[in-house]
Structure 1
Amino acid sequence: MVLILLPPSEGKTPAPSGPAVDLGSLSFPQLEVARKEALEALAEVSGREDALEVLGVGPSLAHDVERNRRLATEPAAPAHAVYSGVLYEALGYAGLTPAQRRRADDWVVVVSALWGAVGFADRVPAYRLSMSAALPGLGRLASYWKPLLAEALAKRAAGELVVDCRSSTYAAAYAPPPAATVTVDVFRERNGKRSVVSHFAKHHRGDLVRHLLTRRGKAPATPEALLAAAAEKWEAELVPGTARRPHSLALVLRD
């Protein structure tokens, strides 16, 4: 089995109806106490006059911040339905077959500023919080979650190939074993010069995850096997890691 790490999307789709989040039912139950603390701290700060400033969002997101005050009772939906945006649109969970959806539910973990880490099928409400934020009593969330995630994800990552599609903000909260981890970068090459693709990279990371979920054959178990799988669809290169740095898979787009 593969472990695919995704960042949450900034924008989220609220569930129209349904039961509220059950913290005890989420994956990695050892995080339940920390999740309660994060929920309470977020609700508290979201009711302050300086909430938008503390959370680092603009006035157009005031409604989302107001929702943060009642997340314990807001309707919840599977994480794959709540998280939206470029990466998740390219992944296209709704268009997967039942077998491919089961694979996604088994393989994908979303690293979250509010929940720590959740499985793709875990039911959560829409919220507004970034890993770069600091909450009262908790401090910077990447630092808050880092020791907790190291313990909670240790068993899940053990012996698996980890495909890390997170942004640097979320990568700061958990460092998987580097020898078995491959980060995913996207480059554009034009006239012999290569540059990093930023926003559109989300699309290709989502597309890579979809390819891994839908392709025939065995799941890749090594960085080299992941390179071979990626090369079925992209021009791809693998930069070997070190004892402290993960491998890097480069998807190269040429004009």
Structure 2
Amino acid sequence: MHSKLKFSANLKWLFTELPFEQRYDAAAAAGFKAVEFPWPYSWPLAEVRKLLDNSGLKQLLINTPVGQPGTVKSSGQACHPDSVAAFRADFASALEYASGLACEFIHLQGGIKQPEVADAQAFETLVNNVSWAAEQASGSGVTLVLEAVNHYDLPGSLLTTQARSLQVIEAASATNVGLLFDIYHTQRSEGDVSAKMRQYFPYIKHVQVADSPNRNEPGTGELNWRYIFGELIGLGYQGWVGCEYRPVTTTGDGLVWLDQLS
């Protein structure tokens, strides 16, 4: 890993050949300096902290809790008017873990709109929840990020474009909230990745990568990664790039792209 960019391993997607408890050490052995793991809540905070400390890695990002796959809660409930108290309890857990792990970012998941709820009401609920969460995180050193996700993988999601995510941030009037720019989701939902990256760069706090259309490692699909990474470097991006992809074979074999493309 000799790139001018800094890459973090997403442990939901990488090193899944191993139990969760072994993935931190595996990421460190592979040369990563930071990791992401969306939902650590099945393990006691002290246990996750021990794994992190033993590996010598930085915990970069976690997500807010979500409900069961296949349900309207599967991407969280931040836009659900009937679940504001539940969202706040979820966010309290996320902030506890983020603070305990010295984690830089919480991905506040916008959620899937409930079919019976008007778009405007769902949007207003999300704005209010983001504003409230930003106040809770103020002074903690934790930055909140919103991610536009594609409508193929997550039908019904409220946030599917960078513009929509930015509307929430601006309406919430919070300085500790930014964009999580996921290149895979952007390509699938909007296309024109480099132009979108330049347009929204002032608001981008974190970047994640996977190739399109199959969400495998960079170099396996339709995107020109040397160009994209060059654009990021040229824009002066100083943050981390999260590896949030599904390896074609094993994690280790797939990591050759880091030297070939970055």
Tell me the TM-score normalised to structure 1 length.
0.28
Larger RCO, structure (CA 8 Å, separation 6 or more): 1
Higher fraction of strand = 1
Tell me the TM-score normalised to structure 2 length.
0.28
